[in-house]
Amino acid sequence: MAAVLGASAIILGVTASAATARADIIHMKDGSRVEGRVLDDAGAEIILEVNAAVTLRIPKTDVARVERMPTPREDFEARLAATEKWDVKALEALAHFCQDAGLDAEQRRVWEHILAADPDHAQARVGLDYRKDGDRWVTEEEWRSARGQVRYKGKWMLAEEAEWRAGEAKARKRVERLVKDMRNRRGKGWEAAEAELAGTADPHAEPALIEAIVHRDEEVRLAVVDAHGGGSAAPGSKRAVAALVATSLVDPEPGIRDAAAQAAAKVGREIAMPLLLEALYDDASSKRARAAHAVGRLGDIEAVPYLIDALYGVKRRRVREMQEEFVEAPTAVTGRPRRYGVVDTPSGYRVRRVVDGFKNFYIFNEPALTALRHLTEQDFHYSKEDWFRWWEEREHEREEGDGPDDSLPRDPRRDPESGSKAPGGAPGR
């Protein structure tokens, strides 16, 4: 806490000022003194900033004198006036003083004085943003321009990148305008905006379309999906295809999910299919089902082993069951009162107990079965064993011919001996 100067120094409160770079000294009539930075002394009080947190009001009637210290900028001007402009060593010391005091603009003035005295002074050249290009010094702009760079929104980049970013900014404004027009729903204006958005074929619009694919309006989302499928996303664009795949899995509207899956396959099938196959093993059953539906719609026969493995999952859950135990007791009397859970019979009695245990529950993926039926024209219901047996026989026949199409990675879980069968055989529906 700041020292209290009798009853006359009043703390004004916390300020946001930075720590002072100099200290004025106020000598009090009682012989004490306080240091800080005088902010104002025009009135009957002197306002003194002691530090970044405390400011004092000191009545002038309690002050003997004020010892003012020069500001760093005032100190710099005095030092510069006393320095010979040809004295490079002295100017270097002044430049270091500016750096310590945070006087960036004044330091550049010193570097300019040094260059006037010594045009090849390396430190001054660097301080003024020059670069060495071969045997000569050039400005930053000259150095970058010679390498095909331009300044775009305060940053240096290749001219092609700057042109692309400018195109993206222009396309973003256009997409945002069309989305806004669709949201306003103004008759023919809305229809025209929908058609224009769905027909967007500008690759620069991809980032804006990716953001708009999760719009709350389903008609806007569908138009955006159509725009992606229409070629706005360059072939092989992982961001766009991943956004379409995600939409095919989570969008609440079935029509939009189907359109997104088809668009993803159209502009990047080699990217979309592995993402959909991975989603077959998602923790969320809704995503597994939608992924199976999308894979079936894409019609790739090599996805069959993945769909077989996704037919059902097994979850082990804690259950509470009633168990009954029979105890022989020939002398038991029927109708004799027993405690709860005990039932008499002529030859003994049965005891019922509640037992905690675990049980396997099968979670079936009906879209996976539908997709398998569609792709193979076979139907083995939910029997993974039968499905895998058929698939292995088919692959064996293909290998004897032209060989299988290995465009998709093999799933290590496709082997029925690796645990894909349910205990006691594949379960029925």
Bridge partners (DSSP) listed for residue 321 = 355
| Helix/strand/coil (H/E/C) assignment for every residue in the chain | CCCCCCCCCEECCCCCCCCCCCCEEEEECCCCEEEEEEEECCCCEEEEECCCCCEEEEEHHHEEEEECCCCHHHHHHHHHHCCCCCCHHHHHHHHHHHHHHCCHHHHHHHHHHHHHHCCCCHHHHHHCCEEEECCEEEEHHHHHHCCCEEEECCEEEEHHHHHHHHHHHHHHHHHHHHHHHHHHCCCHHHHHHHHHHHCCCCHHHHHHHHHHCCCCCHHHHHHHHHHHHHHHCCCCCHHHHHHHHHHHHHCCCHHHHHHHHHHHHHHHHHHHHHHHHHHCCCCCHHHHHHHHHHHHHHCCHHHHHHHHHCCEEEEEEEEEEEEEEEEECCCCCCCCCCCCCEEEECCEEEEEEEEEEEEEEEEECHHHHHHHHHHHCCCCCCCHHHHHHHHHHHHHHHHHCCCCCCCCCCCHHHCHHHCCCCCCCCCCC
Unique residue bearing structure tokens 């530090």: 51
Domains and CATH numbers, the chain: 10-69 (2.30.30), 73-147 (1.25.40), 161-279 (1.25.10.10), 285-311+365-418 (no CATH), 316-362 (no CATH)
User: Can you give the pLDDT at residue 314?
Assistant: 82
R_g (Cα) of the chain, nearest Å: 40
Q: What's at 346, amino acid-wise?
A: P
User: Can you give the pLDDT at residue 316?
Assistant: 80
Structure tokens at 14: 């916390």
User: Can you give the pLDDT at residue 410?
Assistant: 42
Q: How far is CA 57 from CA 14, 22, 23, 206, 366, in A?
A: 13, 19, 16, 60, 80
pLDDT tens string, the chain, 429 residues long: the values are 344 444 344 434 333 333 344 678 889 999 898 888 888 888 899 998 888 788 889 999 899 988 888 888 888 999 999 999 889 999 999 999 999 988 999 999 999 999 999 998 999 999 998 988 888 899 888 888 888 999 999 899 999 999 989 988 988 888 888 888 777 765 556 677 777 776 676 778 778 878 888 787 787 888 888 777 665 444 546 777 888 888 888 888 888 888 888 888 777 778 888 888 888 888 888 888 888 988 888 888 889 999 999 998 888 878 777 777 666 665 544 445 455 455 555 666 666 677 777 888 888 999 999 999 999 999 999 999 999 999 999 888 888 765 444 444 344 333 333 334 443 344 444
Structure tokens at 36: 């800080």
> At CA 147, angle to CA 143 and CA 152, rounded to 5?
85
User: Can you give the pLDDT at residue 305?
Assistant: 93
Instruction: Please give the Cα distance from 259 to 238 (Å, whole number).
Output: 18
User: Can you give the pLDDT at residue 98?
Assistant: 92
Structural contact between residues 2 and 50, judged by C-beta atoms closer than 8 angstroms: yes
User: Can you give the pLDDT at residue 347?
Assistant: 61
